[in-house]
A and B are shown apart, each in its own frame.
Chain A
Amino acid sequence: MTDLASSSFVRHDLVNERPAPVKTTGFIGWARTRLFNSPTNILLTILGALLLWFTIVPSVKFLMVDAVWSGNDRTACLAENAGFAVGACWPYIQAKLPQLIYGFYPEAERWRVNLTFVLAAVLLVPMLMPRLPAKGLNAGLFFFALPVVAFFLLRGGGISGFGLSWTAGLLELFDDSIIGAGNVLLNLSKTSAIAPLLWVIGNLILLVGTAIHWLVFPLIWLRDQIQGSGQSVWADFAITTAVVSLIAFVLGGGLRTGWRALAASIATFVAIAIVIKLMGLDHGGLPIVLTNLWGGLLVTLVVSVTGIVTSLPIGIALALGRRSTIPLIRIFSIAFIEFWRGVPLITVLFFATYMLPLFLPGNFTVDGLVRALIGIALFTGAYQAENVRGGLAAIPRGQGEAAAALGLSWWKTTSLIVLPQALRHVIPNLVNSFISLFKDTSLVSIVALFDLLGSLRASFSDPKWSTPSTAFTGFAFAGIIYFIFCFGMSRYSLFVEHRLNAHRRN
């Protein structure tokens, strides 16, 4: 015991403080751990800094410091006049801005383009905010009402009939084609080796054609009566409203529950009537601006928005077809999707420009812009189909089975239970497809449409503004516009993805 006590040691003075550990917080700590923690890292940091220095500094110098901000023609942007090495030539953009935005759209009518842009923005912005209510109405207006209104606003022109006349016209065309096919087969049966078979099929088709003819005859008669009267649009409109509302009423459940459907239908038609009256569609509408005068950002936006609006239904239909249990429909969908996904968009545009007119009846000419739109819709539709299919595959089988157990039909199961969940799953993928669609719209400049890039390229050849920095300035301007749109969309897609996965975060 004593031994232990004598060897015990009690310190009387404090130990010297040890130096504080290396700081790992704050700016210095951050720089030490993330930038300078080893010789290789120091080297890499220097390399990165050099890379940034040699790209950002010349860009800023070109865009801002050395730029020329005012002038009337190329002389202002030449080095010998400005007295320094000239960077961006902004007066060139200023002079070409109307062309880059509207193309050759007549100056007096440009308010129509602006109005369309404003309408689209007013409908789009609330749709993108998840918090705001009435998404169904909003989407309906954006996807169905806006394209129609925009068509009559941008292109102009009026209508000479309404639903009834159009239906009658379409059925008449269809009937003519069927009767024509029957007659062709009957003619063939005179010379062919399998004559009896062809004769039977031909007569069968003729019979169907004649039956359809007698079925649609009252409709055609009614149309001719309406066209004969003075107020053809409004008479047609009234009849269409009555018929469609009645159908909605009956399908909605008749006297018991059909009133809601009836009210909705009438409200829709009243809204349509107001639009027709406001735009004066019943007597000619706005002056027509042909699409070969459209250009610039207008064409870029028209092509991409139309592509977005039309490709989604095509994609949904193809995705459902690909999962269908009916062999022919499944095979057709797979072949269709794989075909369009296997070829480059530019060949699709060539197809739409050169081959499509051959497929249509000779008296039927399709506008160049519409041709490109058809090609883009088919192409993007195939890509959207694969996106939607991914969403459909992600929905557990139990959802569909539960709906079937409740007695819902296939259509109701799909439209009320499966599709809404599937589409919500794939919003980020759909937005990513829209980004690539937006970028791909630049390809229409190859088939002689002047979108933003096409107008830009056309503006380079103007001798009034040809300077060494013109091309760089133009590309900088167009690049900023494209970047803003695409980057905005990709950020939005990230935001939606974040929201959708909110339940998985911890």
Chain B
Amino acid sequence: MSTEARKPPPQIALKIRRALGGKSGWNGIVVQFAFAAILGWIGYEIVSNTRANLENQHIAAGFGFLRNNAGFDVNQTLISYTGSDTFLRVFVVGLLNTLVVSVVGIFFATVIGFIVALCRLSPNWLLSRVGEIYVEIIRNLPLLFQILFWYLAVLAALPNPRQSISLLGIAFISNRGLVIPRPIGESGFEPFLAMLVLGIVVSLGLRFYARRALFERGQVIRIWPSVLALLFGLPLATMLVFGLPFTFELPQLKGFNFAGGSRIIPEFVALTVALSTYTAAFIAEIVRAGILSVHKGQMEAGSSLGLSRGATLRLIVVPQAMRVIVPPLTNQYLNLTKNSSLAVAIGYPDLVSVFAGTSLSQTGQAIEIIAMTMGIYLLISLVTSAVMSVYGWRVSRSLGA
């Protein structure tokens, strides 16, 4: 006589409780309802107050203003822009300016940060002290202070264009900014670019093939001569065939200012210098902590296997340190991007300055403009943190966790 397995009781109440209240049961449901009611009440208050206030100030809500003419000029634009363009165009111009100062800042911050970290880790006492002084001074002064210092004190103290400081006669620094030669594309430009790209792609493929050969068959293939030929020989050869890819237009002093060349505005210079030196101090600490986090035994094990010091660092220490370094490093990159909004203090036309600043004061559409600005920054940081969690997942998987 076999007995049928009894069905478990349905326990509907339990399931509802679980779905609505999570682990804390009926208490949780009550708290949630109360909380939702409070949130709803606050939301209602905000909406009704805002509506009344906007009516009093005669401001029409909505994003229609984006199609209106902006009517003001921006002194650095990456895409063509005139005063008769729309506010939407202003938004794009500002966003591009934010991105360009962030990318340039990130590049220099990484370079300076790694150099300072190497100084601090150096066995040389004096050099490590120099690195420490740099980090302590930079970290303990506000970023806005440093931006204003570079802009109002250092750059303003530079001579005017007529007495500008010449760098080898091709670039000039003055209080009107930095003037550098401008490349002008010639007929040979397109084949040159195509060959350059081809060279890079083929070199990457070669490297991939060489690594496969090393890992699977233990075969060492020397690829650097062919990579060198691909990266430099190929473009040079195209240059001989098709002529020069581009020529440089040198800046020349005409009257009171420079003509020709491209001018980098002083606001950009001040902002980049301040952002990259400031973030570099934090990056230096991160890199130093990352390298110190690798156990001393790893270095010793590497050298006992007969690897040279450089090879031990490159193959054993740095890959392990990178796992510790990369997440906070990305955080610093994100901080730099967010900090670039301080541009508004010196008038560099970034997103906050031209959109949340000038456009806001012209249109009065505070809610829409600030929401768009915050939304963009939020988007950037959410995307970055999503990428970082994928990275973290891959690292933990490769560690066999």
Interface-lining segment among A4-12, A103-111, A150-158, A472-480 = A472-480
Structural contact, A439 and B141, CB atoms closer than 8 A: yes
Interface check B23, CB cutoff 8 A: yes
Q: Which residues of B contact A361 (CB under 8 A)?
A: 49, 52
Contact of B48 among A184, A350, A355 (CB under 8 A): A184
Contacts of A326 in B (CB 8 A): 21-22, 24, 28, 31-32, 35
Q: Given A345-B338, A347-B356, A362-B49, list of 12 further CB < 8 A pairs?
A: A45-B124, A48-B126, A341-B381, A342-B377, A350-B370, A358-B53, A358-B367, A359-B49, A442-B145, A453-B148, A475-B145, A482-B141
Is A468 within 8 A of B48, CB to CB?
no
Interface check A343, CB cutoff 8 A: yes
**Chain B: interface size category:** 35 or more
| Residues of A329-378 contacting chain B, CB below 8 A | 329-330, 332, 338-339, 341-347, 350-351, 354-355, 357-362
Most chain B CB atoms below 10 A, which of A45, A48, A330, A338? A48
The 9 closest A-B pairs by CB, nearest first: A486-B140, A48-B126, A344-B338, A325-B23, A439-B142, A34-B125, A354-B366, A342-B381, A471-B153
Knowing A343-B374, A358-B366 are in contact, say whether A328-B32 is a contact too (CB < 8 A). yes
Contact of B54 among A344, A358, A439 (CB under 8 A): A358
Chain B residues 36 to 75 lying within 8 A of chain A, measured CB to CB, are: 36, 39, 41, 44-46, 48-50, 52-54, 56
B160 to chain A, nearest CB (A): 13
Q: Is the CB of B140 within 8 A of A325?
A: no
* CB of B214 closer than 8 Å to a CB of A: no
A89: shortest Cβ distance to chain B, in Å?
A: 13
A437-465 interface with B by 8 A CB criterion: 439-443, 445-446, 453, 457, 460
User: Is A49 interfacial (CB-CB < 8 Å)?
Assistant: yes
- Chain A residues whose CB sits within 8 angstroms of the CB of B49 once the complex forms: 358-362
Is B345's beta carbon under 8 Å from chain A? yes
What separation, in Å, do the CA atoms of A34 and B144 have in the docked complex? 37
B352 touching A34, Cβ below 8 Å: no
- Asked if residues B50 and A177 are in contact (CB atoms below 8 Å), the reply is no
Contact of A482 among B39, B125, B145, B153 (CB under 8 A): B145
Complex-state Cα separation, A325 to B25, whole angstroms:
9
Residue A393 interfacial (CB < 8 Å):
no
Neighbour of A48 across the interface among B123, B127, B143, B374, CB < 8 A:
B127
CB distance from B354 to the nearest CB of A (A): 13
Q: Are B130 and A328 in touch, CB under 8 angstroms?
A: no
Contact A453 B366 (CB under 8 A): no
Residue of A30, A184, A445, A446 with most chain B CB atoms under a 10 A cut-off:
A446
A51 → chain B closest CB, angstroms: 6
Chain A residues in 8 Å Cβ range of B86: none
Render B323-365 as a binary contact track against A, CB cut-off 8 A, 1 for contact: 0000000000000001101101100000010001000100000
Task: Known contacts A326-B22, A359-B49; decide if A471 and B152 are in contact (CB<8 Å).
Answer: yes
Separation of A230 and B377 alpha carbons in the complex (Å): 56
19 pairs of residues in contact across A and B, judged by CB atoms under 8 Å: A35-B125, A181-B48, A184-B48, A324-B24, A325-B23, A325-B28, A326-B21, A326-B22, A326-B32, A328-B32, A329-B35, A347-B352, A443-B144, A453-B142, A453-B145, A468-B157, A471-B152, A475-B145, A482-B142
User: What is the total of A-B residue contacts with beta carbons within 8 Å?
Assistant: 175
With contacts A325-B28, A327-B22, A471-B153 taken as known, whether A346 is within 8 angstroms of B341 at the C-beta atoms is yes
Determine whether B269 belongs to the interface, using a CB cutoff of 8 Å to chain A. Answer: no
The 8 A CB mask of A156-185 against B (1 = contact, 0 = none) is 000000000000000000000110110010
Do A442 and B142 form a contact, CB below 8 Å, given A41-B123, A329-B32, A329-B35?
yes
Interface residues of B in 120-171 (CB under 8 A from A): 122-127, 129-130, 136-137, 139-145, 148-149, 152-153, 156-157
Query: Closest Cβ of chain B: how far from A172's Cβ, in Å?
Result: 15
CB-based nearest B residue for A468? B157
> Hey, what's the 0/1 contact readout for A384-397 against B, CB within 8 Å counting as 1?
00000000000000
* Alpha-carbon separation in the docked complex, A453 to B156 (Å): 18
Majority secondary structure of chain B interface residues (helix, strand, loop or mixed): helix
**Chain B nearest CB: distance from A487 CB in Å?**
5
A354 and B141 CA atoms in complex are apart in Å by: 28
The answer to whether the Cβ of B373 comes within 8 Å of any Cβ in the partner chain is: yes
- Other-chain residue from B31, B44, B153 in contact with A181 (beta carbon distance below 8 A): B44
Is A44 an interface residue when CB atoms closer than 8 A count as contact? yes
A325 to B374, Cβ gap below 8 A?
Answer: no
Using a CB–CB cutoff of 8 Å, the interface residues on chain A facing chain B are: 30, 34-35, 37, 41, 44-45, 47-49, 51-52, 177-178, 180-181, 184, 324-330, 332, 338-339, 341-347, 350-351, 354-355, 357-362, 435, 439-443, 445-446, 453, 457, 460, 468, 471-472, 475, 478-479, 482-483, 486-487, 490
Contact partner of A347 (CB less than 8 A), chosen from B21, B125, B126, B341, is B341
Chain A residues with CB under 8 A of B204: none
Given B126, B145, B338, which contacts A479 in the complex, CB threshold below 8 Å?
B145
Residues in B neighbouring A460, C-beta threshold 8 A: 152
Contact digits for B103-133, partner A, Cβ 8 Å, 1 yes 0 no: 0000000000000000000111111011000
Query: Hey, which chain B residues are within 8 Å of A345, CB to CB?
Result: 338
Question: Are A332 and B370 also in contact (CB < 8 A) when A45-B124, A358-B50, A358-B53 are?
Answer: no
- Nearest-neighbor residue (CB-CB) of B21 within chain A: A326
Smallest beta-carbon distance B348→chain A, Å: 13
CB distance from B76 to the nearest CB of A (A): 19
Instruction: Report how far A329 CA is from B370 CA in the complex, Å.
Output: 26
Residues of B within 8 A of A48 (CB): 124, 126-127, 129-130
B264 at the interface (CB under 8 A from A): no
Q: By the criterion CB–CB under 8 Å, are B31 and A487 in contact? A: no
Q: How far is the CB of A33 from chain B (nearest CB, A)?
A: 9
Closest residue on chain A to residue B127 by CB atoms:
A48
Chain A residues near B381 (CB, 8 Å)? 341-343
Q: What's the minimum C-beta distance from A185 to chain B, rounded to whole angstroms?
A: 10
* Alpha-carbon gap, A441 to B22, bound state (A): 40
Tell me if B311 is interfacial: C-beta within 8 Å of chain A.
no
Chain A residues positioned under 8 Å from B122 (CB to CB): 44
Partner of B127, one of A45, A330, A347: A45
Residues of B within 8 A of A52 (CB): 126, 130
Closest Cβ of chain B: how far from A322's Cβ, in Å?
13
Residues of B contacting A358 in the complex (Cβ-Cβ under 8 angstroms): 49-50, 53-54, 366-367
